[in-house]
Structure 1
Amino acid sequence: MTEFPIVDENGIVRATPSADTVLELLANDRRRAVVAALDRHDENWMRVETLVERLSTTFETTEWKIELHHVHLPMLDDEGLVEYDDRNGTVRYYDCELVTDVLTAVERHAIG
């Protein structure tokens, strides 16, 4: 099984999910949108309120906000793709080469 390291800004490996796990997580359009927004952000962390604002034009329902807090961010956190702190309302994103490659491929396919 191939694993892909998720590395923080100091080069420390935070998690090593399998390729299957990463692909399963990114198969969902809402989780993919969350990770893409975090990947494009200048900082390696974002307030959840800011994330909701950035994605509000894509997903405008109240259910989306509930799902974000109770489903998508916890799932991404469980596998190490993000670090979600629901008490402070922040989410931290770490680098993973496979995630970046998948996002790029999906975006390129959507445009082309």
Structure 2
Amino acid sequence: MTYGSSSQHPSPSFDTVFELLANKRRRFALYSLLDSSENPIEFETLIEDVATLEAAVLRQLLTRELYQDIAADLYQWHLPVLSDVGIVGCDPRHELIRCLDQPLLARWAARVRHDELNSG
């Protein structure tokens, strides 16, 4: 698991923030990363958080297949995207993901999360 260096990225633009929040699975990962009391967070913990939230929201069973699909999707797609725009930094040897301080993203993710998870 290797991702680009995210140590010197500026705050993302509004367009980038909304692009990042446009994908449900990536949004769920951001909710977990931004709300975690642990930073960095273990990759396995992130998978569990996303899988649990996704299964609950979609009202489906939390299966091994769903868990594996989420793990692959996060590892191969969403974490590299988040790393490229300076939202996360990753330690591949220890499978840790650090969420970097991005106040604009955190504010918008909190708004979206509230509406998404408290509606219905």
Q: Secondary structure at the match of 1:23?
A: helix
Q: 1: CA distance between counterparts of 2:92 and 2:73?
A: 13
Contact 1:48/1:89, CA 8 A, preserved across alignment: yes
**RMSD, aligned CA:** 1.8
Residue pairs, 1:45-64, within 5 angstroms: 45-57=40-52, 58=54, 60=62, 61=66, 62-64=68-70
Moved more, 83-92 or 65-74: 83-92
The answer on 1:107 being equivalent to 2:113 is: yes
Q: Which residue of 2 aligns with 1:68?
A: 74
Which protein is richer in helix relative to its size?
Answer: 2
Q: 2: CA distance between counterparts of 1:108 and 1:49?
A: 25
Q: 1: CA distance between counterparts of 2:25 and 2:92?
A: 18
Q: 2: CA distance between counterparts of 1:100 and 1:33?
A: 13
Deviation at 1:65, TM superposition (A): 1.2
Moved over 3 A (4+): none
Q: 1: CA distance between counterparts of 2:100 and 2:87?
A: 7
Contact 1:74/1:84, CA 8 A, preserved across alignment: no
Structure 1 residue runs of 5 or longer lacking an equivalent are: 1-12
Q: 2: CA distance between counterparts of 1:84 and 1:98?
A: 21
Residue pairs, 1:25-44, within 5 angstroms: 25-44=20-39
Q: Which residue of 1 aligns with 2:4?
A: none
Structure 2 residue runs of 5 or longer lacking an equivalent are: 1-6, 56-61
Which protein is richer in strand relative to its size?
Answer: 1
Taking only the aligned residue pairs, the percentage that are identical comes to 35
> TM-score of the superposition, structure 2-length normalised?
0.73
Q: Which residue of 2 aligns with 1:94?
A: 100
Structure with bigger RCO (C-alpha 8 Å, 6+ apart): 2
